[in-house]
Amino acid sequence: MAFKKVSDYNSQRFDGLFVLRNDGDYADVVFLYQSVDDVLVADTHYLKTNGYSGYVHCCGTGCPACNKNIRVQTKLFIPLYNITAGNVLQFWDRGVRFESQLQQDVFSKFANPSQYVFRIIRHGMANDMNTTYEIMVAGQNNYKSYDQILADYHTSSPAFYEHICRDMSVAEMATLFSNGGGATEGSYGEYNAGNLPNYAVTPRSAASGGPAPVPPTPPAPPAPPAPPADDVPPFDASGDDAPELEDDDVQF
């Protein structure tokens, strides 16, 4: 197998997925939800075969993936229009537990999120299992409407979920396994800590000459409440009106 550019590898691996890789990275997006009833979850398997690598819906009774002991993952694929990445339709791969934050940060304040542009900020280094995401409103969506976005991609909801999670019959999945040289499980961006050794505390000698320990950063003050939906200004794609991310806004 030949070498390939890291950028090309990431493009293939994360094609269609919303990813913020580093601490402080952010993106301005439109959530492709018109109401809370549009939020969908799915019981899935992540497969790696010669014929296909990606998510598939669990077939339930008689599911070939279940029969191979490939674990079921209940997923929340959040559809969004990523303005920062160049106006692309993507899916944010989240576990079902993230639904509570989606409710708190988005739906509790904005009944139709597609009418607004939101900024998502990552707080956490790459591969940090304690990474969190901050979701704040950036402005009213006068950039591109929900209907325009779907028309540009010649798709509809929920049909666009087929791009991130395939719906297969038992026969189709069995054929995939038989033609694909077997299957293993995996997941986009999930950190596997199963092979980590137990942590052992090793005292550092004062004479070692190493740097002094860095005191923890004091917690940032709580963020002010979000403005009422009627008071949100129009979103400016140029970034002039977008809030700047200051060092003090990032919690480590």
3-state secondary structure of 64: helix
Cα 141 from Cα 130, distance rounded (Å): 31
- Tell me the pLDDT tens digit for each residue of 201-229: 455 454 445 555 555 555 555 555 565 66
Task: Classify residue 18 by its DSSP letter.
Answer: -
E strand map for the chain: 26-31, 42-48, 53-57, 73-82, 88-95, 116-123, 132-140, 165-166, 184-185
Tokens at 191, concatenated:
């950190």
Cα 101 from Cα 22, distance rounded (Å): 20
pLDDT at 179: 80
3-state secondary structure of 165: strand
Q: Which of 69, 76, 40, 37 is nearest to 55 (CA)?
A: 76
pLDDT at 215: 52
pLDDT at 105: 97
Cα 48 from Cα 63, distance rounded (Å): 16
* Residue 104 predicted with pLDDT over 60: yes
pLDDT at 4: 47
Give how far Cα 127 sits from Cα of 20, 193, 199, 227, Å: 11, 11, 17, 33
User: DSSP alpha helices (H): ranges in the chain?
Assistant: 6-13, 64-67, 99-102, 146-152, 170-179
pLDDT at 242: 44
Q: Which of 29, 82, 74, 106 is nearest to 187 (CA)?
A: 74
Q: Which of 25, 44, 43 is nearest to 122 (CA)?
A: 25
Q: What is the mean pLDDT of the chain?
A: 80
| pTM, two decimal places | 0.70
Q: Which of 91, 94, 121 is nearest to 31 (CA)?
A: 91
For residue 121, what are the β-bridge partners?
A: 26, 134
pLDDT category of residue 234 using cuts at 50, 70 and 90: confident
Task: Classify residue 227 by its DSSP letter.
Answer: P
Stretch 40-54: mean pLDDT: 91
Residue pair 83/117 in contact by the 8 Å Cβ criterion: yes
pLDDT category of residue 74 using cuts at 50, 70 and 90: very high
